[in-house]
A and B are shown apart, each in its own frame.
Chain A
Amino acid sequence: MKIFGRGKKQDEDAGVAVRQDPAASGTVEAGLYRLGVDVGGTFTDLLLFDERDGRFWRAKVPSTPHDPSKAVISGTRRICAEAGIPESAIRYFLHGTTVATNAVLEGKGASVGLIVTDGYRQVMQIARSLVPGGLAAWIIWPKPEPMAKLENTVEITGRMNAQGEEIAPLDEANIRAQLDVLKARGVEAITVCLMNSYLNGAHEQVVGRLAADILPEVPVSLSSDILPEMQEYERALTTVANSAVRPVVGKYVDNLASELRGLGMEGRISLLRSDGGLMAADKAAEAPVNLLMSGPAGGVAGALWVAKHAGLENILTLDVGGTSTDVALIEKGEPRLVRDTSVGDLSVRVSSLDVKTVGAGGGSIAHVPDLTKALRVGPESAGAMPGPVAYGRGGELPTVTDANVVLGYLPDSLIGGEMTLDREGAKQSVQGIADALGIDLYEAARGIIDIVNENMFGALRMISVQQGYDPREFALMGFGGAGPLHANAVGRLMGSYPVIIPNSPGVLCALGDASTRMRAEAARSFSKRRSQTSDEEVKAAFETLAIQVTRELAAEGVAPEDMLIRYEMDVRYYGQAFEVPMMVDMASLGADGIAAIASAFDAEHHRLFTFNMETEHELVNLRTVALGKEQAIPAREIAKGNGSPDAAKVRDHEVWMDGGVKPAAIYDRAGLRAGDQIVGPAVITEMDSTTLLLSGDVATVDAFGNILITPA
């Protein structure tokens, strides 16, 4: 049975390429360009925007994991050369980075010295006493080493109570002696986390000053600065994580800045935080724990920009890479924020976009355990090396990519033809799965795809159905290298139509970096029951926070008239563990007081959990967010077509779908025009990604070149 043919080279661009938007041309004018740069595990993506008319250039260069700034610099030079502009024309350099994330995942953080209250030396050792997994999981649980080693943890006397009052004073000699211990141990960063400091950080500040005196070269992070919230372990862990990544992020930011300046780039350098906002690079380097989800946040920001121009407000995002998939929910043009960030084993209390990650990607390995004869896919991944069998780099285990190759969903060449896929090898590896299950090769390949799609579906359910959202009211946007291959199928499972495949789905994160806005946030623990506070007190507290964030953004060059200030309050029923973040409208707070917030909370609680309680409301945390001016980056319309995609057709093709071989066709995305319609099944290829269109669905190209898939 022959179901695959070798097609012509689909794209003249090489794998490492700079490519100009077909419609781009024009003269150079200094200071009107924004450059978004996203550093991924395999590739560093760049996207250069002309602020005046929305022309853009994109580039992809191999990442340089030993020193990520190398790829950033070489990519910057390349994209500027291609656009024909000097580096000095870049006004904004906007950057999503996984430097902090990788330092955590690879255990390459700094050696952290931790200073705690007398009696609490083992706070990181005991943690929350939790052994993950089910009954008897303790038998097989490998306990991770604390991020601040116990031998690098010291205690000091002095104590605050739960009202923030000092009940035992500090002893300077004692603090100096303990700092000397840490100095002798050669720690590279220091965290101070004292009991009840979330209510009163005075003791921590004293320790911080003495530390700066005794260890002047070592950066100090205070828990009362980084996370002024109740729960000593979570606060310590978050602050230790900050300390652990601070030296590596600081060094990276310094190198990058000096090299960019060396190229003549004088524009502002900002980093994308986990919460989707930008902050000045030097500021970010002081609180790098805010950067742990910087990478995925870029994708969500990019999706927001695309959605806005496509006229869609409710979006589920599906960002599929080689080893994992990130999903997020955008409702009414706002991505959901959560108060936790998880990276590997580490879970810290930092605001981030609500991005869930599952170990399901193109490199996820399929296997059949002997005992159960079940088909399992992932979480083990073949990664970039050796990668899937089809990549021919020595991989021998069947992966999701191999299944896609077997079924014809991935044509024989990737990234514009530079890389040819080993289809025979892929078939052989998937045959092993088929034999173990006693089924046909194509059924096995389809099974692998179904299961990985199901894992993505599970992650999307967690952020939608489980949060009380109906996924049928959302569109699904697929991006990342492999998102467009799976988006149609996952969208069908969710009932989320249209399924959107944006332009340049492989560099959407870089687009997000380029299109998002400055953001500053200030928060404080409030912890008062409704009867214990007043409208006036809440208003005054918000106003103090507002002054703080306004000042912060002003320092980053944002004019006061361009700022948007937002107020948020975490509310719960008194005694609950889980608080619901509520947006606060200052005008209605003035008119109706806390009562308005309370009733909005009741409605939200009912939506989430199907019931309300008579228990009093507790106002847990207050937060104020200042946003810089929204970037008015225009989307560029593409040429209109006549509705027929024939001009873009590369060749006829066959895919295995719905239980058998189906005739299909391959299209070159660059040849598609606005209004063109393709009937599934079909495969649409472009430089950095491949889109699979299922039978029964239709793809329509919108005015901006996005592909919108809907049921036929």
Chain B
Amino acid sequence: MPAKIVETNDAPFNPVDIDPVSLDIIENALRNARVEMDATLFRTALSPGIREQGDAFPMIADAKGRMVVGQFGSFLDGFLRGYDGTIEEGDIILLNDPYACEGAVSHLSDQLVIAPVFFNGRLIAWGAMFGHMTDVGGKVPGSLPTDASSIFEEGMRLPPVKLYRKGELQEDILRIACNQSRMSEWYRADLHAVVAACKVAGRAVQEICERFGDDTLNAAMEQLLARNHRAMRELITTQIGEEKVSFEDYLCDDGRGAGPFKIKCTMWREGDKVILDFEGTDPQSDSSINFYLNENMFKMFFGIYMIMVFDPQVLVNDGFYDLVDVRIPEGSLLKPKFPAALSCRTHALGRIFDVLGALLGQKTPDFLNAAGFSSSPHLMFSGHDKTGEWFQLFQIGFGGIPGRPMGDGPDGHSLWPGFTNVPNEFLERYFPMIIERYESEPDSGGAGLHRGGNGINMVYRFTEAGTISIHDDRWFIPPWGVNGGEPGARSWKKLIRQDGSEQILGSKIDDVKVEAGDRLQYVTWGGGGWGDPLDRAPDLIELEIQQGLLTADGAKRYGVVVDADGKANPDATASLRAQIKADRGEAKLFDFGPTIEELRASCETDTGLKAPVQPVWRGAAKPVAAE
């Protein structure tokens, strides 16, 4: 049963003609409101994940729940369809169960706050935001168990509940929720911050109503959605062909030794509609790497990519949704059945961006980017310090940005919007650790005319005993290069004990005990290269060697031979380049590196880890195509 909206004023909105200038002004005012939401959040949140790194996303939607400003598309659709209660002025909804909102949030760590905005007794808009909490309970600190078998191991599961009822904070609910977290103080503060941001949105919308009238705002939001619809239809019909294109990529493993897992998507156009079909994607995993992908969210990803790739002038909202049809097979990795575990969905979430980029760009190689979204590396470190106080770090890392049509991929930068690293001095001050090294890993970016960004090489020395967890991917299947560019390097992690002994750690692992004095070296993947590396200027190679971004050995992948004085040797370079050209043949549109069989065969030698075994699906778990 859908949510029942209680309005004290039942008059429908009057249609209003809006001149283009007022429309732009209202759009601008709504965008400002979103900026104000962010500012409020970052200033008041406590956890490093939100306050330093920015793992939270705001949105403002119209009365029907369609996002007018925001990033990830509307979070409201599934909630509105599934919520079996009333929505009244002053109510604020809290939830975190992906299965209760059709995947609008996709793991329990993300708390979603939804605030209806009323004006003159009528629902006029929604402010909403979700933020990643450091801990929501469950079997491991950080609430992202790499080996969970069901969602019940992953922490507190909140259906939509009213955190505020007619403006009144429901203290009991807040107390219950905070009580589930190992870091309840951070949970409380971060939740307050998200709520405060949603209230800011509400106030801003009400001010717009006071200024322009609620009928005008309502009509303006309709027009903004329509404007986006027009622009996207134009883009879709000119840029997407009727012929089917497919792309597949893989998650390396499931944290329990099985892998890789295939994600496949096929795209084609019928009239002015584009179809994105995930038929061929592997079935859901027994472990926690499943990603409950909300169809509308994927429409938004598609829309944003179209715009960024082909025309960055357009502003994105939900207006174009009926132009896109997303089909995800039930029971697949991207639409797992309840109660499948979901906590470690970050790898698949990242990977679908690689897939999307490849789909959109493969018929227009000039617009094609290499792979590099890949994942969102995490480190968890927790324990009790000498005074007996509990500490718990959840840190998000970054790899290399892929080579792009416009140039090199930046080294060690974030592909996620608004994310930043945690200052190392902050880590050293607030956690028992010393960061001995924080730099990019030379040669890890894929060779190309436009080099892929290098991954990060970070060395932690722990000064207290504790437990660590690692979440990462692209340790087995490399990030691919395009247009002749080579794949980026894979990720790896090594624990160096105080006695000098070394241990390679898996990419998805919990409960690793560390002692004071132990060191962890955490190296992330590099972005894939773009374009023929043999076309890269030798003096740029020289400079990058001097800068420590590339080694003399790595320069050979560009066909550049460097003498002991660091200068490129023109003759040796010319002959090496000629030889490489003769040996390799035609430059490839996609360079995936070795085949999966080859990777498996050399896995232990190359990575120090056992190759993942081919996943086996129990019974008739073969995914069924969605209707």
Contact = CB atoms under 8 A, between A and B. Distances in A.
Say if A and B assemble together. Answer: yes
Interface of A: 119-123, 125-131, 133-143, 150-151, 159, 161-162, 167, 195-196, 198, 230-234, 369, 371-376, 437, 439, 443, 446-447, 450-451, 454-455, 458, 461-462, 466, 527, 573, 575-578, 608-611, 613, 615
B547 A135 contact: no
Nearest to B47: A575
A461 B29 CA distance: 10
A608 B426 CA distance: 25
B618 interface: no
Contacts of A141: 410
B20 A373 contact: yes
Interface stretch (B6-14, B301-309, B382-390, B503-511): B301-309
B61 interface: no
Given A131-B410, A134-B71, A577-B51, A126 B425 contact: no
A198 B305 contact: no
Nearest to A605: B44
Contact of B308 (A128, A139, A371, A451): A139
A128 B421 contact: yes
A576 B43 contact: yes
A576 B231 CA distance: 41
A135 B24 contact: no
Contact of A162 (B45, B305, B428, B546): B428
A131 B415 contact: yes
B231 A609 contact: no
Interface string B555-574: 00000000000000000000
Contact of B423 (A230, A376, A447, A608): A230
Contacts of A439: 19-20
Contact of A120 (B21, B52, B438): B438
Nearest to B312: A140
B39 A455 contact: no
Contact of B413 (A119, A130, A232, A454): A130
A447 B21 contact: yes
Given A140-B406, A159-B434, A195-B428, 16 more contacts: A122-B412, A129-B420, A130-B418, A133-B417, A135-B72, A135-B416, A137-B417, A138-B404, A142-B406, A162-B425, A162-B428, A198-B425, A231-B425, A372-B314, A375-B21, A447-B19
Tell me the dominant secondary structure on chain A's binding face.
loop
B189 A130 contact: no
B355 to A, nearest CB: 13
B265 to A, nearest CB: 17
A451 B369 CA distance: 36
B625 interface: no
B439 interface: yes
B419 interface: yes
A489 B381 CA distance: 55
B543 interface: yes
A123 B413 CA distance: 12
Contact of A130 (B301, B308, B419, B546): B419
Nearest to B189: A613
Given A371-B313, A372-B227, A609 B44 contact: yes
Given A232-B423, A372-B313, A447-B20, A609 B40 contact: yes
B315 interface: yes
Contacts of B23: 374
A130 B42 CA distance: 15
Interface of B: 19-21, 23-25, 27-29, 32, 35-36, 39-40, 42-47, 51-52, 71-72, 185-186, 188-189, 192-193, 196, 199, 227, 230-231, 234-235, 301, 304-305, 308-309, 311-316, 353, 369, 398, 401, 404-407, 409-421, 423-426, 428-430, 434-440, 456, 459, 543, 546-549
A120 B425 CA distance: 12
A130 B423 CA distance: 12
A451 B414 contact: no
B52 A131 contact: no
A231 B423 contact: yes
Contact of A371 (B189, B314, B418): B314
Indicate the member of A159, A466, A573 with the most B CB atoms within 10 Å.
A466
Given A150-B549, A611-B196, A119 B436 contact: yes
Contacts of B28: 451, 454-455, 458
A373 B398 CA distance: 38
Contact of B46 (A167, A443, A462, A573): A573
Indicate the member of A122, A128, A437 with the most B CB atoms within 10 Å.
A122
B515 to A, nearest CB: 18
Contacts of A610: 196, 199
B425 A122 contact: no
A609 B313 CA distance: 33
Contacts of B411: 122, 125-126
A187 to B, nearest CB: 14
Contacts of B308: 135-137, 139-140
Contacts of B227: 372-374
A372 B231 contact: yes
Contacts of B423: 128, 230-234
A454 B437 CA distance: 47
Given A120-B439, A142-B407, A577-B52, A609 B417 contact: no
B546 A151 contact: yes
B66 to A, nearest CB: 18
A226 to B, nearest CB: 16
A575 B189 contact: yes
B440 A136 contact: no
Indicate the member of A133, A135, A140 with the most B CB atoms within 10 Å.
A135
Given A131-B410, A373-B20, A150 B548 contact: yes
B567 to A, nearest CB: 14
A613 B192 contact: yes
B403 to A, nearest CB: 11
A138 B434 contact: no
Nearest to A376: B24
A660 to B, nearest CB: 15
Nearest to A235: B425
Nearest to B545: A151
Nearest to A128: B420
Contacts of A130: 413-414, 418-420
Nearest to A449: B21
6 contacts: A134-B71, A139-B404, A143-B413, A196-B428, A372-B313, A466-B36
Contact of A129 (B39, B40, B419, B459): B419
Nearest to B195: A611
Contacts of A371: 231, 234-235, 311, 313-314
B439 A121 contact: yes
